Structure 1
Amino acid sequence: MESRKPPPSALIDNHVVPGDVVLDLAEMTNQTIKLGAGLRQDCDTIQATSAGRLRLSKPNKYWVESSQKRYIPSLEDTVLGVVVDTKPDNFLVDIKGPNLAFLPVLAFEGGTRRNIPKFEIGTLIYARVVKANSIINPELSCMDATGKTAEFGQLKDGYMFDTSTGLSRMLLSSPTCPVLETLGKKLSFEIAVGLNGRVWVNAPSPSNVIVVSNAIIKSESLSGIGQRSYAPALLMDLKACGIFEPVMVLQTGRTQLSCYLNRER
């Protein structure tokens, strides 16, 4: 059976399976593309290596979106990692992948040998994948592409829980996930989402942390339409439980596949 060879955009948002040819590079001359999870190059074609939906984000990043517990590191992914060991030159970090990732001690804004962060075992960090392949351990950085800290670094306090990789991408989708949007209008909280299937939530009160975390976990089984239907019911639940804060909330924004922040003004 021959693999399918569609035009460059024919399979966007459609299901693909391993072996499907999703892009023909011969038809995409003078274009620079980035490959994410679930894709590999074979001569002049790009083939799927996992089942899921083919996605495209501008300008030209392609990946296969699938919902699974196991995480396969991909270049430029933002992840939540747990420090499991410290070495003179790097930290070893668990990111739920096949292998531990390493975070160089100099991979921080202004990092020098005299200014090495002191992370203990168990420290939770928000980082960016800067090297990823099947041969070597992934490499992380706590800087953005311009060398700035941005939102990366240690996450203190709060509560971290595991999800599927599909839910992580949904939480970081645009437009904003309906459940997060509804919560953000009524509650003051901060959330960091890792594409490796981890979510961290922090809030001024433990009750807010519990409400936000439970709402996110419940939304995993809901479709986009289901989430929009669930949002009004969620508001009613908040009122019934007395957890309803008509506060002024400043939405500080969210970078692509990064943090979504809500802070009380």
Structure 2
Amino acid sequence: MLTFIGLGLFDEKDISLKGLEAIKNADMVFAEFYTSRLMGSTIEELEKLYGKTVHILSREDVEISPEWLAEAKEKNVVFLTGGDTMVSTTHVDLRLRAKNLGIGTKLIHGSSIASAICGLSGLQNYRFGKASTIPHPYTSIRGKTIISETPYDTIKLNKEHNMHTLVFLDIDKDKGYMTVNQALSLLLEIEERRGEGVMENAIVVGIARAGSDEPVVKAGYAHYLREADFGDPLHILVVPASLHFIEAEALVKLLGAPQEILDELDD
């Protein structure tokens, strides 16, 4: 049996009782932290709580050569991820591989950033469209810096359908954790080049360390939040479409957005 367990958002205490029980009853415990990770905890703290050794898997171990998967044919194996399990396509693919090997699977969910952003921001969950990820820029073989414009296009499409956009920020083993500030700088650079008005005067929401005791959540114009201090990772960005009155009130009164976005709705 292979049990997929989501660990929640921030530290070792976010796991559900059902998930903790499954880990304690497991023969082997594996985890990957390249798609997300618990910034408020360490592997040692996880192992202390679980009373188990946690085997950390690389991207290659999960996506290319998951030889460890065979252990689940005869043993009770759990696979841990930050956030909620199955949010990443990588994890769905792993579950399908297990199915093809005749291995039974089970899911134990954890808190997800997809729902946490609604609680933290006041934005309504049913108004979100397609999500996107902003990757770090990279250098081409000709030495040119390449910035992906896919997130900009996704935000544009969602706005055309009056839908909010959740923007995940890149985690790279060499370049580190992308910040809200870096993400906004990239989007505004694309805006300056293309001039399509997607980010011009756009209200955005930046969130840092969701799930912690003191998350940072700020709303305001993109060019202003680009200079704001969000502190340590993990960061995530939301680009709203038009705002319902309750959403606008939440952004202003809870997140510090400018009063004028409420005044405009009253006009």
TM-score between both structures, scaled by the size of structure 2: 0.27
Higher relative contact order, structure no. (Cα contacts within 8 Å, ≥ 6 residues apart): 2
TM-score between both structures, scaled by the size of structure 1: 0.27
Larger proportion of helix: 2
